[in-house]
Amino acid sequence: MQKKYAAALLFAIVALTAAAHEFWLMPPQFFVVPGTTLNLHLFVGENFTGERWAGKSNRVTRLAHYTPPGLEDLLAAATTADTLQPNVTFAQPGTHMVVLATNNSFITLEAEKFNAYLKEDGLDYILLQRQQRGTLNKPGREAYSRCAKTLVQVGNPTTSDTARAWSRPTGLALELVPEQNPYALRIGSSLTIRVLADGQPKGGQLVQVWQRSAGQPVKITKLYSNQNGRVLFRLTNPGQYMVSAVQMVPASLPEAEWQSNWSTLTFGFKGISSR
């Protein structure tokens, strides 16, 4: 009996996390010299550790490089083969941003698992809608898309970055936009992130901040955006950071009654000199 219970519990956990994975862009290095070419890695998983994403290139609908001089579309070059090859050359000094988005994938979860997943990811308002619809005991049919942004510092950071490629809204369904350049901040400084849903500020949105520093376990901070869509947190230690959010809305698709959009932003942090 115990073995059967353990197996059922394991299955439930696997099914739940399959629908709740973060998805992020991770360069081999966040700090590079001008002219460096990097193969960006895509990860999916839990606790900012994850595994390499095995999705095919036809899942990708957008791949763009926001440079200090302008915008470079990388989609055609990166998707010529079945396997995605996001090679990016960072030519000019400054803070660069790379953006990737996918099309929909679909999943159906049993009612109990779907309700637990909604609760875990701060989607209680969908639970309420399911209750109002009288569908709490029915399976959840979901379409989900993912988008990821990463910031790479080329050359030495500067506080006089007038290009502000790192802060440009990109029109994603759910977007995390930094209002300060993390590469130009000191240790202990605050960073403000604005959450945009279809280009509009999203208040009351759960935002998670994942901090990975050498020799320390991953630290997770959960915040809710204010009425202007902003969250604020401190960059307390050097390391790698990921900010993540997920939004769900009703859908009118043959395959799904709910549409979720997942979004992440990654960057490295050293903290600039106080001199």
What is the three-class DSSP state of 262?
strand
Q: What angle do CA 97, 103, 105 make, to 5 degrees?
A: 130
Query: Across residues 10-25, what is the average pLDDT?
Result: 58
Structure confidence at residue 80 (pLDDT):
87
Decide which of 8 and 147 is more confident: 147
Chain segment 35-90, per-residue pLDDT in tens: 999 999 999 998 898 899 988 899 999 999 999 999 999 999 898 888 888 999 99
Q: Where are the domains of the chain?
A: 24-269
Decide which of 275 and 213 is more confident: 213
The model carries a pTM of 0.90
Locate 216 and state its tokens: 């320390």
The DSSP output letter for 127 is H
Residue that is written with structure tokens 């095995």 in the block = 54
The DSSP output letter for 89 is E
